[in-house]
Chain A
Amino acid sequence: MTAVLSVRNLHKSYAGQAVVDGLGISVNKGECYGMLGPNGAGKTTTLRLMLGLIEPDSGSLSLLGHAVPEHAREARLRVGVVPQVDNLDPDFTVAENLLVYGRYFGMADAKIQARIPDLLDFANLAHKRDAKIPTLSGGMKRRLTLARALVNDPDIIFLDEPTTGLDPQARHLIWQRLRELTMQGKTLLLTTHFMDEAERLCHRLAILDHGRMVAEDTPRDMIAKHIEPQVVEVYGERTSAWADEHAAHYCERFEISGETAFCYVRDAQPLLAHLHAQNDLRYLHRPANLEDVFLKLTGREMRE
């Protein structure tokens, strides 16, 4: 496998505060690689370092065979970026946004114009070709931003929280498009804090916290390695009293968050039989998922 992006021992701090702290990442061609992490974990800073927009304090970066930041300009010729906050040109129509953006890559107008219909089809925006940006919905703007990132037919696409703020319908459409891109052989690097997004889309994942990588694996192995396979969530007013008395007996590991006890077990049957007899507790039995791993590794306390 060839690495299209490799990062070694990357450090970046602001005012003495380490934001990226010894990070190493290697992304292979054709792979969808996800970076998960709570707010302030250093995801966006890492992306900006990878694109050569800011300089690392130390460490080495290589993107599509070019040393970054020294040759970031050459690398970015073959890169597409979907930023976290929309920055479409509000004065332009949908098609003009694509045309103007293509010019930044040195593409001839005729070549961009020839690509626009395909890009609009991909983004389900063919009917909005001449619409002004302020008239588009949030989902449409995101799709246009994705289409804009593809105008130069990039080899790798960086997506910074591509579905944040979208409704479920809009989110599913974006997911479908991202899967199509990986099927076409594009490499994707995305940051998210939606676990289902990461689980569905990514071949491999890294969980970042405080600028460090705390785990890296395929979504399936990440769950298998880091956490018990079954989860029983117990909730109700009496949860904490119940947990004090019984949780240690029935659960291999448990955590209490608010009025809910999360019980992690290999075999849920004894616990479920016990809970069945408790009339004042409600519970939910489910397989462990990525969110459980994420919360285990990065903690439950709020990040602000």
Chain B
Amino acid sequence: MNRRHFSLPSVSPRFFPIWRRHLLVWKKIAGTSIIGHIADPMIYLLGLGYGLGSLVPQMGGTPYLVFLAAGTVCYSTMNSASFEALYSGFARMHDQRTWEAIMNTPVTLDDIVLAEILWAASKATLSGVAVLGVVYLLGLSHSALTLWLIPLAVLIGLCFAALGLIMTALAPSYDFFMYYFTLVITPMMLLSGVFFPMEQLPKLWQNLSAILPLTHAVEIARPLMTGTVPSGALLHVGALLGYTLAGFYVSLVLFRRRLSR
């Protein structure tokens, strides 16, 4: 590996036309895309919320549906960012050679990777906001503090887009992404307090849970949903930002190596 592959990201405002490109593609399929954004989390939220919620009316002192709603905003945002960064990112880099076309212009790989992260985060934010809309619609929360879930969704989107791009940079083909979803994303969903409080798990698992990015997101989202200010919010935001920056840097180094062959 070349020493220059490790240099810090050097980005320019030229990333913006790439973001606009992705937006223009998305606008053409926005209808089906939005239905997908809403349908999947709705099914989980309502299915589990009403089904399980009738058996377990209270979870950690809140109605189960409200408890679940906070987690659903987070994991739905995570899923959306991950899918975009992995599948769509790989298509643009590999099958469509979109990156190759862009790199022949004054835009650099650093700009392209930044645009990928920002775009995936934009789409993911929309997912989070869609779930939040359902929460309002069902009357699950009326606190103004829930508006903070929107910037939180942006941060979750950035974080999982950046982490997902590491996989994209390493992937030989689409099949590779199954590993990430079954071995990373799904266990993370179960270990981050989305469906049940982490106190239910053995101590060892709790320790693992404490360092997962989705846990940090849920720790902020859950109090906001019930109208209380989250404690230690700065720490959680810092952790999510740290994962984002690390993901950006590591994926960029890997992309530089992959595309210089």
Contacts and interface: CB of A to CB of B under 8 A. Distances in A.
Given A55-B4, A89-B21, A104 B107 contact: yes
B17 A104 contact: yes
Interface in B5-21: 12, 14, 17-18, 20-21
A136 interface: no
Given A89-B21, A92-B24, A96-B24, A83 B106 contact: no
Most buried by A among B98, B103, B105, B260: B105
Contact of B261 (A14, A79, A96, A104): A14
A6 B89 CA distance: 36
A87 B100 contact: yes
Contacts of A88: 101
Interface stretch (A70-78, A186-194, A291-299): A70-78
Contacts of A103: 17, 20-21
Contacts of B12: 73
Interface string A90-129: 1110001000110111100000000000000000000000
B96 interface: yes
Contacts of A14: 261
A100 B24 contact: yes
B206 interface: no
B75 to A, nearest CB: 28
Given A55-B4, A96-B24, A104 B96 contact: no
A11 B2 CA distance: 15
B24 A76 contact: no
B200 interface: no
Contacts of A92: 24-25
Chain A's interface size range is 20 to 34
A229 to B, nearest CB: 41
Given A104-B18, A106-B14, A87 B108 contact: no
Nearest to B96: A90
A262 B100 CA distance: 42
A152 B107 CA distance: 13
B104 interface: yes
Given A55-B4, A105-B106, A91 B28 contact: yes
Contact of B105 (A54, A74, A104): A104
Nearest to B10: A73
A237 to B, nearest CB: 47
B103 A77 contact: no
Contacts of B100: 83, 87
A100 B104 CA distance: 14
Most buried by B among A14, A77, A100: A100
Nearest to B105: A104
Contact of A76 (B18, B20, B106): B106
A89 B96 contact: yes
A105 B104 contact: no
Given A14-B261, A83-B101, A106-B14, A77 B106 contact: yes
B97 interface: yes
A248 interface: no
10 contacts: A14-B261, A53-B103, A55-B260, A73-B12, A76-B104, A76-B106, A87-B98, A100-B17, A103-B17, A106-B14
Interface of A: 14, 51, 53-55, 73-74, 76-77, 79, 81, 83, 85, 87-92, 96, 100-101, 103-106, 152
**6 shortest interchain CB distances as A-B pairs:** A87-B97, A103-B17, A104-B105, A81-B104, A87-B101, A91-B25
